[in-house]
Structure 1
Amino acid sequence: MTPASKVAGGRAKCFTREEVAKHSTSSSLYIIIDACIYDLTDFLHSHPGGSNILLSSSVAGKDSSQAFFSLHRAELLDDSRYSRLQVGVLDDEHSTIQRSADGENSSVPYAEPAWLSSGNTFRSPYYTDCHRQFQRAMRKFAHEFLKPDAIAREADGQRPNRRVLEKMAELNINCMRLGPGAHLRGRKLMDGLVNPEEFDYFHEMIIHQEISRCGPGTRGYTDALLTGLVIGLSPILNFGSAELKRKVVPEVLEGKKFICLAVTEAFAGSDVGGLRCRAMKSDDGKWWIVNGTKKWITNGTFADYFTVGCLTGPNSSRNFTVLLIPRTTGVKTRQIRTSYSTTAGTAYVTFDNVRVPVQNTIGREGEGLFVILSNFNHERWSMACATGATMRVAVEECLKYCTQHHVSGKPLISQPVIRGKLASMIANAEAYQTWLESLTYQMCHMSYKEQADKLAGPIALLKMFGTKCARQNARDATQMFGALAITDGGIGRIIENYRRTIPFDALLGGAEDVLADLGVRQVIRQMPPGTRL
């Protein structure tokens, strides 16, 4: 809803278009935007484009709606700095700009997955009424709590506000981001919207996608929002000792302590077998002594715990062990500046003769490769959920821009080449979501062990396909927005952030080409012996 129905401080004053036209000089300058009247007299010399633009014969005293929406986002009208300039509304005219109500689903075609289409006209075998209620609640939560904090933290580069994290813990969102399982028993999920026994991977997918919808334009914040918990705590839940779980899991899930996954090094990323960080046992066998470094560790700068992959013998996958290392003597972190904001807490981590109790071993000694590789499935799937959501936001941004922006007197969408790019973007988003939902259904009907055995290849290929589609969509969106897509702020700010940060999706959790190779190697393993054309 636009401010056409009210003026700050009282009842709206009504004007005719003829009355507004009389205010067209530097001493009294009015314009019309979407049936609202704005007095720009005092703002004239503060306008970023200069006063001449506002004093031109096509703007001063005229309806400037088309010009305004070609250059600015509609949300600018709600900004208190500008909404206070409104002095009235047009007599017997109403706002024509349609915007989704705050925290509601978008009515723009393909801005939402098919199961959330306007009017529920599309059917799905995967989602129940419970899923729909859960999605509405998560959308509202993201709009009310996450989006404002995301914008603020992207600006100052600090980690998410503790109040937000505590609210997530209160609703058990942190727990649910780790998927179905025993860790949910006895908990009240999303104010009781779903029972722990009914919670499935589609509920979790909804959480990841709703959080990610506030990500385009605030991508650093999305990764800051306890991504470390999602990928760092899972190995403890699945392979940690009962003692380790009792000590660590509650304080992390309640937002009192922070955790991250520290596997990647400057020497090895997707090649887990090439890691050099070492852990050797003390003479009395009670401690691991850890030395080495980790790099590009999301959430590392503010982590209290590090789930670390270490070599515990000669270079070999059979001498790879995972340890939980607290922030203690010998552990140092320093921030790494990346292409997105520092709020993600990306860190370079150094371990210098760090003493770690052997009880902090996650899984069996020497079997850490299985622990990490099993964890990759859920990590990559959660990233795949996020990729699908941001593709939707990019489609929505482009559809809005191409219908409201005019070139040579015609909407940009009237150009066949633009419609062709939009068709490709929509097809990518739809095909990807369909594959994602199919694999999510398989996850719902497989044990954790079965997922590790059967889905490593398919999930790897899914993520590869998604990041390829997303980068193609980002290129097409950039061409549509032009220079606005490389401008930090303004009407193209979301596409600018999307274009700049989408390559991260092709690297995090395993590089695109490595995942492609993994997927095909899994296929080769399953080829029937002796198969011929």
Structure 2
Amino acid sequence: MSAVLEHKDLIAGGSFLIEERAPEEILTPEDFTEEQRMIADTTRQFVDSEVRPAIPQLERHDWDLARALLRKAGELGLLGANVPEEYGGLGLDQTSGTLISENVGRSASFAVTFGAQTGIGMLPILYFGTEEAKRKYLPRLVTGELVAAYALTEAGSGSDALAAKTTARLSEDGRHYILNGEKMWISNGGFADVFVVFAKVDGEKFSGFIVERGPGLTNGAEEHKMGIKGSSTTALILSDVKTPVENLLGEVGKGHKIAFNILNIGRFKLGASCLGGMKLMLHESIRYANERHQFGRPISSFGAIKSKLAEMAIKTWVGESVVYRTVGLIEAAIKATAHDAESKLRAIEEYAAECSIIKVMLSEYCDEVADEMVQIYGGYGYSADYPAERAYRDSRINRIFEGTNEINRMLIPGMLMKRAMQGRLALLPAAQRLMDEVLQPAPASFDEEDGLLVAEHKLAQNAKKIALMTLGTAVQKYMQALEDQQEILMSVADIIMDAYAMETAILRARRIATRDGEEAAARYVAMARVFCHDAIERVETNARVALAAMSEGDELRTLLAALRRFAKRTPANAVAARRRIADAFIEANRYLD
């Protein structure tokens, strides 16, 4: 791990809204160690040489091939990167594990197979299994000998997981739990050997279990999906399925702790996987735009295409910055705790809001990049003979996986407010100070000071103020009933996400400029600048929608006046900046890390 995050004090989750950070306080891809870069290269080589050529065969549901690829990944240590050595893993840091997830994201459907194995399938056992269960299952899971799956969703309980109807009862001899019910949308369902299943003990106590494939456990037919066709997705039917009592995960009635904590990990790993897909899509779009000629010249020479490539690059670079900033926070928190599983989970839970931000932001950026890839390819983008068509279909599921983006949007302000009410985040005093500022006359305006991205830094600070203003107004108006105001919560979440991304982009660009000089960092500075000016417009729009839904009359006029003051800016020349950004990638004929 780089020394970049060797703080005396840990950074609290959500504190980005009320505190300023220095560039050296965040982890960036420029800080990766040589070992971490080698792990990323090994993963990318495996994916490009072994997995991507096999995608057509996987899409014909060759599950023997899927198992063989998992075993090869296991031989390389990729399945057990974050599993302690005592259970057969490599015991690597979270950054290394995230780099693996990123590069597996290049592998289309196989990324789902891999993620179900290494994430939601394996981690409940690692963090909540008994010592006996860990030693029984983990060594065989990290080699790929066993394949894992995760069974939570049911026909009547998707986002409302606790409404599950699958039951578990203790056998008369007290040696087994007997499970009955039906689960849906089970990734790896058609060929998994081990399932993490959630059921209600005695029909009431929501609990997690390890269940092996055996008598009474059957699969439904493979789902006919829009995308990720090379991954297995089936229903799971449990009819008097027995599992030993030692296969209970955690405590009876505490299954929600397992589901929600594992989802936090899954969210930032999913974001990393989306990032890997985005980099590949952008790379292929650049190459195609250079090769495709119209009107006697490559289409990459046209401004309309340059604008698309630049925006794809900006979203990819900013998304990467946010992913690794957050992973750096998690890494530092884990490093400062005891090494037991419960302490590690608490360290990850500290940044639950940031994990949801990553999930929403990267899945939507990925969709935008995929959409523009199809457009750049034109008619060929709509043909299954070209890579854009598959990328477009496969990317759509990410906004549904790991909790829908709507659920995650509501979780972001909700989790921040929960931390504030617990006294773990000084959000409410900061919001009150801001509301006092809103009621004061606007201060005299002076020329901006000189410096790198100073104007953009001011925009990022003001985006945080707008987030606090809208959230503070919502809390004051609705109090405990705020959770019912979903439209307002989603607007507030979008403001918070943009504020986090704006600050992160600026901090990373400044880090690069300090290290390499401003001339060498010009492309990154341009990407941060364009992103911030676009983001503040989104922030202003979302705030107007939220404020108008909550206030009226003089109160609304006062809030809108403050909003205009905070969102005030001199427009940047985004057209010229996008051309410069695109030209660098076009000239290199590839995505530039």
TM-score by length of 2: 0.62
1:260 to 136, 145, 149: 149
Q: How far is 1:321 from its partner?
A: 0.3
Q: Higher strand proportion, which one?
A: 1
Match of 1:353 in 2: 240
Match of 1:299 in 2: 188
Match of 2:254 in 1: 367
Identity of aligned residues (%): 22
CA distance in 1, matches of 2:40, 2:348: 28
Match of 2:409 in 1: 516
Check conservation: 2:228, 2:393, Cα contact below 8 A.
no
1:344 to 224, 231, 237: 231
Q: How far is 1:500 from its partner?
A: 1.0
Aligned to 1:482, what secondary structure does the other structure show?
helix
- Which amino acid in 2 is paired with 1:266? A
Per-residue Cα deviation, 1:96-120 (whole angstroms, up to 9, x for no partner): xxxxxxxxxxxxxxxxxxxxxxxxx
Match of 2:471 in 1: none
Could you say if the C-alpha distance between residues 256 and 137 of structure 1 is closer, same or farther in structure 2, counting changes exceeding 3 Å?
closer
Q: How far is 1:146 from its partner?
A: 2.6
Match of 1:481 in 2: 377
CA distance in 1, matches of 2:252, 2:353: 26
Q: How far is 1:271 from its partner?
A: 1.9
Aligned to 1:300, what secondary structure does the other structure show?
coil
Matches within 5 A, 1:394-409: 394-409=281-296
Could you say if the C-alpha distance between residues 268 and 159 of structure 1 is closer, same or farther in structure 2, counting changes exceeding 3 Å?
farther
Matched, 1:505 2:398: yes
Aligned to 1:283, what secondary structure does the other structure show?
coil
CA distance in 1, matches of 2:140, 2:195: 14
Matches within 5 A, 1:6-85: none
Per-residue Cα deviation, 1:416-435 (whole angstroms, up to 9, x for no partner): 22222222111111111000
Q: How far is 1:159 from its partner?
A: 4.5
Aligned to 1:174, what secondary structure does the other structure show?
coil
Matched, 1:460 2:356: yes
Match of 1:70 in 2: none
Aligned to 2:207, what secondary structure does the other structure show?
strand
Match of 2:215 in 1: 329
Q: Which runs of 5+ in 2 are unaligned?
A: 1-27, 335-343, 421-426, 436-593
Q: How far is 1:226 from its partner?
A: 6.0
Match of 2:35 in 1: 130
Aligned to 1:343, what secondary structure does the other structure show?
coil
Q: How far is 1:188 from its partner?
A: 8.3
Match of 1:202 in 2: 95
Match of 1:446 in 2: 333
Could you say if the C-alpha distance between residues 188 and 259 of structure 1 is closer, same or farther in structure 2, counting changes exceeding 3 Å?
closer
Match of 1:184 in 2: 85
CA distance in 1, matches of 2:52, 2:180: 39
How many pairs does the alignment contain? Answer: 389
Could you say if the C-alpha distance between residues 175 and 267 of structure 1 is closer, same or farther in structure 2, counting changes exceeding 3 Å?
same
Match of 1:243 in 2: 132
Check conservation: 2:227, 2:397, Cα contact below 8 A.
no
Could you say if the C-alpha distance between residues 126 and 255 of structure 1 is closer, same or farther in structure 2, counting changes exceeding 3 Å?
same
Matched, 1:525 2:430: no
- Which amino acid in 1 is paired with 2:102? Q
Check conservation: 2:112, 2:231, Cα contact below 8 A.
yes
CA distance in 1, matches of 2:345, 2:242: 32
Q: How far is 1:313 from its partner?
A: 4.2
Q: How far is 1:513 from its partner?
A: 0.8
CA distance in 1, matches of 2:143, 2:97: 18
Per-residue Cα deviation, 1:121-173 (whole angstroms, up to 9, x for no partner): xx855311222233333333333333333343234543435443333222222
Match of 1:228 in 2: 117
CA distance in 1, matches of 2:354, 2:53: 36
CA distance in 2, matches of 1:487, 1:157: 23
Q: How far is 1:270 from its partner?
A: 2.3
Per-residue Cα deviation, 1:354-384 (whole angstroms, up to 9, x for no partner): 2222221000111110011111111112111
CA distance in 2, matches of 1:349, 1:379: 21
CA distance in 1, matches of 2:167, 2:203: 10
Aligned to 1:510, what secondary structure does the other structure show?
coil
Matched, 1:420 2:316: no
CA distance in 2, matches of 1:160, 1:343: 11
Per-residue Cα deviation, 1:206-235 (whole angstroms, up to 9, x for no partner): 21122222x2xxx22332246234211111
- Which amino acid in 1 is paired with 2:215? T
Worse overlay, 432-441 or 256-265: 256-265
TM-score by length of 1: 0.69
CA distance in 2, matches of 1:420, 1:185: 51
CA distance in 2, matches of 1:167, 1:413: 38
Q: How far is 1:392 from its partner?
A: 1.0
CA distance in 2, matches of 1:383, 1:324: 23
Aligned to 2:65, what secondary structure does the other structure show?
coil
2:319 to 429, 432, 441: 432
Aligned to 1:472, what secondary structure does the other structure show?
helix
Matches within 5 A, 1:278-297: 278-297=167-186
Aligned to 2:156, what secondary structure does the other structure show?
coil
2:57 to 139, 146, 152: 152
Check conservation: 2:185, 2:233, Cα contact below 8 A.
yes
Q: How far is 1:438 from its partner?
A: 0.2
Q: How far is 1:412 from its partner?
A: 1.5
CA distance in 1, matches of 2:245, 2:67: 32
CA distance in 2, matches of 1:328, 1:426: 48
CA distance in 1, matches of 2:233, 2:71: 22
Aligned to 2:209, what secondary structure does the other structure show?
strand
Could you say if the C-alpha distance between residues 133 and 342 of structure 1 is closer, same or farther in structure 2, counting changes exceeding 3 Å?
closer
Alignment RMSD: 2.2
CA distance in 1, matches of 2:236, 2:201: 19
Matches within 5 A, 1:161-172: 161-172=66-77
CA distance in 2, matches of 1:401, 1:473: 14
Q: Which has the higher contact order (CA 8 A, sep 6+)?
A: 2
- Which amino acid in 1 is paired with 2:195? F
- Which amino acid in 1 is paired with 2:387? I
Matched, 1:387 2:288: no
CA distance in 1, matches of 2:87, 2:210: 26
- Which amino acid in 2 is paired with 1:400? R
CA distance in 2, matches of 1:140, 1:520: 40
Aligned to 2:153, what secondary structure does the other structure show?
coil
Which has the greater radius of gyration?
1
Q: Which runs of 5+ in 1 are unaligned?
A: 1-122, 190-195
- Which amino acid in 1 is paired with 2:99? I
Per-residue Cα deviation, 1:481-511 (whole angstroms, up to 9, x for no partner): 222112111xxx2111111111111111111
Match of 2:514 in 1: none
2:206 to 309, 315, 320: 320
Matched, 1:273 2:162: yes
Could you say if the C-alpha distance between residues 244 and 203 of structure 1 is closer, same or farther in structure 2, counting changes exceeding 3 Å?
same
- Which amino acid in 2 is paired with 1:511? T
